[in-house]
Structure 1
Amino acid sequence: MKSSLRSRQEPRRVSNAVIIGAMLLSLCVLSIVKARYCATPFAAGKAEDQLQEQMNSSIRMETEEESPARTSGEEEDDEEEEATSAAPAAKVVAAAGGGGRKGKPTCYMTSKRSERCDVSGDIRVDGNRSAIYVSGIDREWKTKPYARYHDPVAMEHVRQYTLKPLLDTTSAAPACTKNHSVPGFLFSNGGFSGNLYHDYTDVLVPLFISTHQFKRRVQFLLSGMKPWWVVKFTPFFRQLTRFDVIDVDNDREVHCFPRLVVGATFHKDMGVIPAKSPGHVSVVDFKRALRAAFGLEREAASRRGGAPGTNGKPRLLIISRRNSRRFLNEREMASAAAAAGFDVRVAEPDQHTDMATFAKLVNSADVMIGVHGAGLTNMVFLPRGAVLIQVVPFGGLEWLTGVTFKDPAADMEVNYMDYNVKLDESSLIDQYPRNHPVLTDPYAIHKQGWDALKAAYLDKQNIRMDLDRFRATLQEALNRLP
């Protein structure tokens, strides 16, 4: 009897053991998944990545004042390399055929931020209706030619274009009124353009990556055109195209091309990845194009100066700001820098600043300092070996200042330095009680999202530099100059 009972209980024990083991294994798996993907938003070592993810991976640089057919040979090989090195094709319209490129999709994501459509054959652009008629595709595709796809706020302000099948010459497609023998390239300056940082990271650098290989034999079509913006960057456009930029949204012509590319390719913030770029160009080549565009003569910085009017002194350029994140003791800073042996210039760039004039001023500097903001984008004009000092506002913003200016600096052959603002240098100390989370726990504010962070640490903060720290920083910058 006992033997029979024991034999009946054995399977139950085994079954229970299996169930308990499965539960323990599930708990272990869940713990691993949670540790990998669901960590506390500001766990050590991961704060920057997770904060960026929380904010939709969006770096929005705020300003104070919102406002013939394809050639063969090397060019073709370069473009082949660009397509194959891009991110895996997604959102495919159709495999190229009937004038498309063999084995490649018509439209594909080149990164999480950029989409590219590349078509050849009978192509008719009716910009007034935001329509592009293409032979060889069998369905419609909608695209927005601005390299910030991960950011819905920006993309709301970008006009959408529709690629439509051109089935035969008797279809509803409009007749050509202007024929072009060179490829067309359609891009947008909607989104956040007008802010200098976004001008470069969202538009100009991707434009360079995507069109330099055409060797100026390409017609630019610009959607969302701001005339003042085009005037500002026309010298740069002239390095990439020999033709005037067309305001495609408002142009009454139906432009016909043998080939059309819609949308520029993004690599990284303010940067170029040579291995993914046609011809393996880098951001140094981009800077070289800027130098040619604006007639910049200084190639290298020096602790002995060299810019006209400096009398052998290194030049310090202080980037001034009008409203938030301004230096409260700017005059004292200039005096301290002059006493330390610098030729000092103070300048405040804005939307209305003449680009060529300001580019020359930045190019004359050996050291440039400014509080985090769009004005630091002018680092693209610094000569090789110059020092950029980014003043990082109080509030745990190192992740933001790193992505925007620190990381790109090395590729641009610029020596980078941080100046991290201490609480007693920040105007926030006069705005909040000493026990307020804005002062005591910045990451608690970060957890509330971008708007809360921006309001607390970017919109309301000014800086009174500790002059002793400032002098020591200038001495280190001087030591870094070649």
Structure 2
Amino acid sequence: MKSSNRNLSRGDGRRLGNAALIAFMLGSLLLLSLLRARFSPIGKTGEAMKAEEQQGLRKGSAKIEETVDDATAASTAAEEEEEEIQPKATDTSTSGSSASVSTAAAVANHDQLPKPVCYETSRRSDTCEASGDVRVQGRTQTVHIRPLEKEWKVKPYCRKHDAFAQSHVKEWTLRPLSSSSPHCTVNSSGSGLTAFVLSTGGFTGNLFHDYTDVLIPAFITSRRFHGEVQFLVSSYKSWWTSRYLQIFQQLSNYEVLDIDADDEVRCYDKAVVGPTFHKELGVDASKTPSPGYSMVDFRAMLRQAFGLERAAAEPSGDRWDIRRRPRLLIISRKHTRAFLNERAMADMAMSLGFDVRVGEPDVSTDVGKFARLVNSADVMVGVHGAGLTNMLFLPAGAVLVQIVPYGGLEWLARGTFKEPSPDMRIHYLEYMIQLDETTLSEQYAKDDPVLRDPASIHKQGWDKLKTVYLDKQNVRPHLGRLKITFMEALKLLPHGRGQSN
């Protein structure tokens, strides 16, 4: 019996020793993963880094036998979760890397490590920043820099995971300054001016992408310069730049340049190539320079740019002013996802006491004029689509009602407009279209997978999903159900509370 107890104790000791070794190895690997994620330079793919870490885990598992299998699974799960919240190395093909740092120094001073010239600011964006002798040669999409040790390449548009979008974005090269580099023809050196290169290629022209891919990232990147930044726009579209010129003028004290068509060699003290993306229609204040700025600041900038009067959804103090009645704005669509009973919807809303307006924004719509219409509203309702991006102009405390088309699109509605709402201080309500409210029920048999099993259509890819549920569908909301939603919206507004008519 004593011998048995002694053997059991030794087995426990071996297991404890293995556990300690496992903990040490996993701790080291996790710390290395964090360091790589935080300071991942352009030039090494996330897949390559992940493969290295998994290879290390496999080597450890061969030595520590079966107990490491569970630990490896836990480490892999932690690594996948880490990728959701930390930048990972880009998959863009570039040359150059950050200066090497010893592992010991990295462990001791990882918060003080210098960032490489080009680095991944999110899974959607790469940004390059350099100071010194900066010479921008727009015709060749080249920035010559001293000091710079290695060449870097970047596409300055916040959708790097989308090959189709990137195919419409020109690549820029950051190159070490040499004796053969061109001389300045327009010299802003010594003025403290920063050159900011960004692209309006990709999906610009779609309101949602205009703000998500370009304008909000431009705000995130340039706000810290307090106007002392010049926008150098690649893949320039004159109509697009004119459309949003008032926003650029809020961010910069200088002319916006069509840099691809520029014959000058422009010299600056600093260059930023590529804007920084945080999230869909959003700003992560924790990632902005101290004291930080947020979507509240972006929306305040929009009000300034377009002369919007209402910061908050409050009724007029004049009892005879029609604005004492809450205003409901219907975002109208004519081609896809259109309301087939729009007039009846408006009549029902008026019966509840709303002052109703209908707006149909498109690419030719005057941005400022439509922004003022949206800003006058207390409730905005529309079917999922780019038009709902106009929520940016709603006053704080207003209500957005998103009509979600049939087809299991809750995830799409959530990521595009539901999740951004709280940061804009906007109330959010959702109305889900049922089978008897969609024209798809008229186009397909009852037992067709389109109606019976939307998930099977989703599995066929985005193009199929979009064609069926976004491009072929119009809706006819049930007025009784929609009335309940509108009444919920009324309860969220201050209109009429404690006031006599």
Q: TM-score normalised to the size of structure 2?
A: 0.76
- Please give the alpha-carbon distance, in whole angstroms, between the structure 2 residues aligned to 1:197 and 1:307: 37
Quote how far apart the aligned CAs of 1:336 are: 1.0
Quote how far apart the aligned CAs of 1:92 are: 7.9
Contact 1:196–1:375 (Cα < 8 Å) also in 2: yes
Where do 4+ consecutive residues of structure 1 move more than 6 Å? 25-28, 88-92, 303-309
Contact 1:317–1:347 (Cα < 8 Å) also in 2: yes
- Please give the alpha-carbon distance, in whole angstroms, between the structure 2 residues aligned to 1:114 and 1:206: 9
Gap runs ≥5 in structure 2 = 1-61, 100-111, 495-501
User: What percent identity do the matched residue pairs reach?
Assistant: 52
Contact 2:88–2:123 (Cα < 8 Å) also in 1: no
- Residue 12 of structure 2 is matched in structure 1 by none
- Please give the alpha-carbon distance, in whole angstroms, between the structure 2 residues aligned to 1:437 and 1:311: 47
Q: Which has the higher contact order (CA 8 A, sep 6+)?
A: 1
- Residue 420 of structure 1 is matched in structure 2 by 432
Contact 1:94–1:138 (Cα < 8 Å) also in 2: no
- Residue 201 of structure 2 is matched in structure 1 by 190
Contact 1:409–1:416 (Cα < 8 Å) also in 2: yes
Tell me the alpha carbon deviations over residues 49-89 of structure 1, each in whole angstroms, 9 at most, x when there is no partner.
9xxx9xxx9xxxxxxxxxxxxxxxxxxxxxxxxxxx98367
Quote how far apart the aligned CAs of 1:398 are: 0.5
Cα gap change, 1:469 to 1:306, in 2 (>3 Å) = farther
- Please give the alpha-carbon distance, in whole angstroms, between the structure 2 residues aligned to 1:28 and 1:481: 57
Amino acid at match of 1:123: V
- Residue 475 of structure 2 is matched in structure 1 by 463
- Equivalent of residue 376 in structure 2, options 364, 372, 375: 364
Matches within 5 A, 1:365-404: 365-404=377-416
- Please give the alpha-carbon distance, in whole angstroms, between the structure 1 residues aligned to 2:409 and 2:69: 34
Tell me the alpha carbon deviations over residues 439-475 of structure 1, each in whole angstroms, 9 at most, x when there is no partner.
0000011111101110110000000111111111111
- Please give the alpha-carbon distance, in whole angstroms, between the structure 2 residues aligned to 1:391 and 1:377: 14
> Which is further off, 306-315 or 470-479?
306-315
- Please give the alpha-carbon distance, in whole angstroms, between the structure 2 residues aligned to 1:402 and 1:436: 26
Quote how far apart the aligned CAs of 1:204 are: 0.9
Contact 1:154–1:192 (Cα < 8 Å) also in 2: yes
- Residue 328 of structure 1 is matched in structure 2 by 340
- Equivalent of residue 159 in structure 1, options 170, 173, 189: 170
**2:146 matched to 1:146?**
no
- Please give the alpha-carbon distance, in whole angstroms, between the structure 2 residues aligned to 1:464 and 1:87: 43
Amino acid at match of 1:177: T
**2:120 matched to 1:112?**
no
Contact 1:303–1:478 (Cα < 8 Å) also in 2: no
Matches within 5 A, 1:81-480: 87=87, 93-95=96-98, 103-167=114-178, 170-171=179-180, 173-180=181-188, 181=191, 182-279=193-290, 280-302=292-314, 310-480=322-492
Tell me the alpha carbon deviations over residues 131-167 of structure 1, each in whole angstroms, 9 at most, x when there is no partner.
1111122322111001111211211111101111113
- 1:228 aligned counterpart, secondary structure: helix
Matches within 5 A, 1:73-88: 87=87
Contact 2:199–2:234 (Cα < 8 Å) also in 1: yes
- Please give the alpha-carbon distance, in whole angstroms, between the structure 1 residues aligned to 2:418 and 2:477: 20
- Equivalent pairs counted in the alignment come to 407
Structure with more helix by fraction: 2
Tell me the alpha carbon deviations over residues 352-380 of structure 1, each in whole angstroms, 9 at most, x when there is no partner.
10011000000000000000000000000
> Which is further off, 113-122 or 367-376?
113-122
Quote how far apart the aligned CAs of 1:305 are: 9.4
Contact 2:315–2:323 (Cα < 8 Å) also in 1: no
Amino acid at match of 2:362: D
Amino acid at match of 1:217: E
- 1:286 aligned counterpart, secondary structure: helix
Contact 1:307–1:364 (Cα < 8 Å) also in 2: no
Cα gap change, 1:392 to 1:215, in 2 (>3 Å) = same
- Please give the alpha-carbon distance, in whole angstroms, between the structure 2 residues aligned to 1:122 and 1:27: 56
Contact 1:138–1:165 (Cα < 8 Å) also in 2: yes
Amino acid at match of 1:178: V
- Please give the alpha-carbon distance, in whole angstroms, between the structure 1 residues aligned to 2:69 and 2:484: 51
- 2:324 aligned counterpart, secondary structure: coil
Cα gap change, 1:449 to 1:475, in 2 (>3 Å) = same
Contact 2:146–2:176 (Cα < 8 Å) also in 1: yes
Quote how far apart the aligned CAs of 1:27 are: 13
- Please give the alpha-carbon distance, in whole angstroms, between the structure 1 residues aligned to 2:293 and 2:382: 29
Amino acid at match of 1:455: T
Amino acid at match of 1:192: F
Amino acid at match of 1:104: K
Quote how far apart the aligned CAs of 1:302 are: 3.4
